[in-house]
Amino acid sequence: MTLRIHNTLTRTREDFVPLDAANVRMYVCGPTVYDFAHIGNARPAIVFDVLFRLLRHIYGEAHVTYVRNITDVDDKINARALRDHPGVPLNDAIRRVTETTYRQYQKDVTALGCLPPTAQPRATEHIAGMTEMISTLIKRGHAYEAGGEVLFDVGSMPDYGRLSQRRLEEQQAGARIAVDAHKRNPGDFVLWKQSTAEEPGWDSPWGRGRPGWHIECSVMSKAHLGEVFDIHGGGLDLIFPHHENEIAQSRCAHGTKVMANYWMHNGFLQVEGQKMSKSLGNFTTIADVLAEWPGEVARFNMLRTHYRQPIDWTAASLEDSRKTLRTWKQAVAGIAAAPPDAEFVAALSDDLNTHAAFTRLHALAKAGDAAALKGSLLLAGLDLDVADLGDAEAVAVDEAVVTNMIAARLEARRARNFAESDRIRDGLLAMGIQIKDVKDPATGELKTEWEVRR
């Protein structure tokens, strides 16, 4: 089975070839822990969790390393700490903000069925690595000190802008020259900035200060995955400047041709056609969503749309998702999972075509193949045995599913495959369906009558 991935670097779908099949390495930019995450922030967590699970399925659980960082150094965090904990020493106030937010995030994404990544490094644990990488960049002529900052010199990198396909001249056209008078190029970005006595800071060769956002990911990915790794992911909005700048720092510090071989970006979750975001104020926190909807429903709803497409988040589609999951939950209750269905895995392997994958699950349910349905759902991180989808009594039996399962069972009996026919009967029983085989007195043909018994 070949995994294919749409690579933002080349704008094409490519066969995935890992650098080392014994250790497939993926890095995804995680949350900046200053405020509760919204349901749009959950999209990369869920999408890359599915990829993590698929990679483990293909390469083996022990052969995939997934790193998702926690950005706990950021000026938004400082501002929040000052606002929410006045009078508390800043370092303590910051820790309170980041700890509360981080714990909530863990709780949220766990409820959404996301496995813990292999490692979740925090920026504050990697400051020494950052000052070291910045020193290397200065030494190699890619960074300079000016105006109390250390800046990356984008002019020093001939193919800066390759990921976002922006040319340097275009980027400079709209830049605010006056504000950036200390910069060599308007596009130069901060690696390190000095802190006032009131701001959080660490000692460095350039005075007490703090790192810029982009350098955090370059250093944490290097520490856990090495100078070059396989997959780097995040939302579309991170392509520029964040990922472009990560690439610039890592490649220039290590002298490598790439930072990661495959760059993947999820599309936006939208509300009435607009990107959900903190700044627009049109957001619903993950916790709000989970107060109303089971985590499995929110997860499935997120995955019904292909990860690169925009997704409109509506109650109607959530309700629709709940209905489907109820039918499937009924179908797989009490059934032992078989390995995931091959066509389902093939669909996922085609650049995470979850839409096609779920279409296949509908077909499996109709055919009465509850064991493969269950195994496939588990691969997608949907454990319906534990899901509380509410209103169990209100669930109507899907007659088409039952009729198909009965036909499949008779077919198996005719083929004298009794293990299979018993398996389907047990599946029906688990759905609360009693069956009785009767001979048609006229034709002598076997027919199955059924009724719902709860």
Work out the angle between the directed axes of helices 42-59 and 295-303 (0-180°, nearest 10).
80
Q: Are strands 209-211 and 189-194 parallel, antiparallel or unpaired?
A: antiparallel
209 bridge partner residues: 194, 202
CB 164 → ligand AMP: shortest distance, Å? 14
What is the full DSSP assignment across 103-140?
Answer: HHHHHHHHHTTPPPPSB--BGGG-HHHHHHHHHHHHHT
Stretch that binds Zn ion, among 24-32, 48-56, 175-183, 319-327 (CB under 5 A): 24-32
28 interacts with Zn ion by CB under 5 A: no
- Is the Cβ of residue 221 or residue 301 nearer to Zn ion in the bound state? 221
> Scanning residues 221 to 240, which ones bind ligand AMP (CB under 6 A)?
234-235, 237-238
Residue 253, contacted partner among ligand AMP, Zn ion, none, CB below 5-8 A by kind: none
Edge-first strand listing for the sheet containing 274-275: 274-275, 269-271, 311-312
d(CA 385, CA 381): 12
Residue 47, helix vs strand vs coil:
helix
d(CA 408, CA 369): 9
Which DSSP category does 259 fall into? S
CB 33 → ligand AMP: shortest distance, Å? 9
Residue 150, contacted partner among Zn ion, ligand AMP, none, CB below 5-8 A by kind: none
d(CA 331, CA 366): 10
Please check whether residue 93 is in contact with residue 198, taking contact to mean a CB–CB distance below 8 angstroms: no
Stretch that binds Zn ion, among 103-111, 118-126, 181-189, 215-223 (CB under 5 A): 215-223
Residue 275, helix vs strand vs coil:
strand
Please check whether residue 386 is in contact with residue 299, taking contact to mean a CB–CB distance below 8 angstroms: no
Residue 306, helix vs strand vs coil:
coil
123 interacts with Zn ion by CB under 5 A: no
277 interacts with ligand AMP by CB under 6 A: yes
- Is the Cβ of residue 229 or residue 268 nearer to ligand AMP in the bound state? 268
Residue 428, helix vs strand vs coil:
helix
286 interacts with ligand AMP by CB under 6 A: no
d(CA 6, CA 14): 6
Token look-up 């020493």 returns 89
> Scanning residues 247 to 276, which ones bind ligand AMP (CB under 6 A)?
266, 268-269, 275-276
Stretch that binds ligand AMP, among 1-9, 40-48, 81-89, 287-295 (CB under 6 A): 40-48
For Zn ion, which residue of 37, 130, 217, 401 counts as binding (CB under 5 A)?
217
Residue 305, contacted partner among ligand AMP, Zn ion, none, CB below 5-8 A by kind: none
For ligand AMP, which residue of 29, 55, 220, 225 counts as binding (CB under 6 A)?
29
Q: Which residue is nearest to ligand AMP (CB)?
A: 235
CB 242 → Zn ion: shortest distance, Å? 5
104 interacts with ligand AMP by CB under 6 A: no
CB 249 → Zn ion: shortest distance, Å? 11
φ, ψ dihedrals at 398, nearest 5°: -85, 105
Please check whether residue 270 is in contact with residue 352, taking contact to mean a CB–CB distance below 8 angstroms: no
- Secondary structure in 3-state letters for 207-230: CCEEECHHHHHHHHHHHHHCCCEE
Q: Are strands 149-152 and 189-194 parallel, antiparallel or unpaired?
A: antiparallel
Stretch that binds ligand AMP, among 27-35, 198-206, 221-229, 424-432 (CB under 6 A): 27-35
Which DSSP category does 365 fall into? H
Read off the amino acid at residue 42.
A
Read off the amino acid at residue 354.
T
Among 137, 149, 139, 141, CA closest to 206: 149
CB 230 → Zn ion: shortest distance, Å? 16
Site string for Zn ion, 178-207 (x = CB under 5 A): ------------------------------
295 interacts with ligand AMP by CB under 6 A: no
Stretch that binds ligand AMP, among 39-47, 75-83, 92-100, 298-306 (CB under 6 A): 39-47
Stretch that binds Zn ion, among 25-33, 123-131, 275-283, 340-348 (CB under 5 A): 25-33
- Is the Cβ of residue 6 or residue 183 nearer to ligand AMP in the bound state? 6
> Scanning residues 341 to 400, which ones bind ligand AMP (CB under 6 A)?
none
Stretch that binds ligand AMP, among 41-49, 145-153, 320-328, 396-404 (CB under 6 A): 41-49
Residue 113, contacted partner among ligand AMP, Zn ion, none, CB below 5-8 A by kind: none
CB 144 → ligand AMP: shortest distance, Å? 27
Residues of the shown chain interacting with Zn ion in the complex, contacts defined by CB under 5 A: 29, 217
Residues of the shown chain interacting with ligand AMP in the complex, contacts defined by CB under 6 A: 29, 31-32, 40-41, 43-44, 234-235, 237-238, 266, 268-269, 275-277
